[in-house]
Amino acid sequence: MSAKDIVKEYLEAWNNRDFDRMRDLMHRDYTYTGSDGQEQKGPEAGLTMSRLFASAFPDGRISVVNIKELGDTVLVEFIGRGTHKGDLMGIAPTGRSITIPVCDVLELRDGKIHHEREYMDMATMMTQLGVTRVPLAAPA
């Protein structure tokens, strides 16, 4: 299986809420780095993040827009969609829907996902949930 195929299967496993399959595709030394730059080590750390979003957005889906394989690194641009029906980092369900672009950089080692860096615009997501507002641009 190519690196790109492994990543596609990993993302589809999230769509199917198949966390066992996700774990199978993670390297034993897996590291997750979120948009805040915080590193979390181990497959369970990555699965905790995956479960958090799956719980907060039970109808959530990932739709791949673009995927590029560069040796053992895969770049994935996708759209995350879902309805906020569960707790999200202390934010009570709002019932609002979100649509946010996400970019993941996944490095593979030994045919498994070794390091996942995820970049998403949390401010846009929080605005869509109605918990914050983005300031207007300054007048020219």
Is 111 within the bounds of a domain? yes
Is 39 within the bounds of a domain? yes
3-state helix/strand/coil string of 18-54: CHHHHHHHEEEEEEEECCCCCEEECHHHHHHHHHHHH
CA distance 16 to 30: 21
∠ CA 76-80-81, nearest 5°, is 160
Residue type, 110: D
Percent of the chain with pLDDT over 70: 95
Number of folded domains that form the chain: 1
Looking at residue 114, what is its pLDDT?
Answer: 98
111-129 average pLDDT score: 94
Band of pLDDT at residue 140, cut at 50, 70 and 90: low
Is 138 within the bounds of a domain? no
Is 78 within the bounds of a domain? yes
Is 125 within the bounds of a domain? yes
Range of the domain at 83: 3-129
Token pair in block for residue 112: 């498994």
CATH number, residue 97: 3.10.450.50
Q: Does the pLDDT of residue 75 top 70, yes or no?
A: yes
More confident residue, 35 or 70: 70
Q: Does the pLDDT of residue 135 top 80, yes or no?
A: no
Q: Has this prediction a pTM greater than 0.85?
A: yes
17-35 average pLDDT score: 96
Chain-centroid distance of CA 13 in Å reads: 12
Is 134 within the bounds of a domain? no
Is 101 within the bounds of a domain? yes
In a 13 Å sphere around the CA of 15, the CA atoms on its Cβ side amount to 14
CA distance 125 to 121: 7
Is 85 within the bounds of a domain? yes
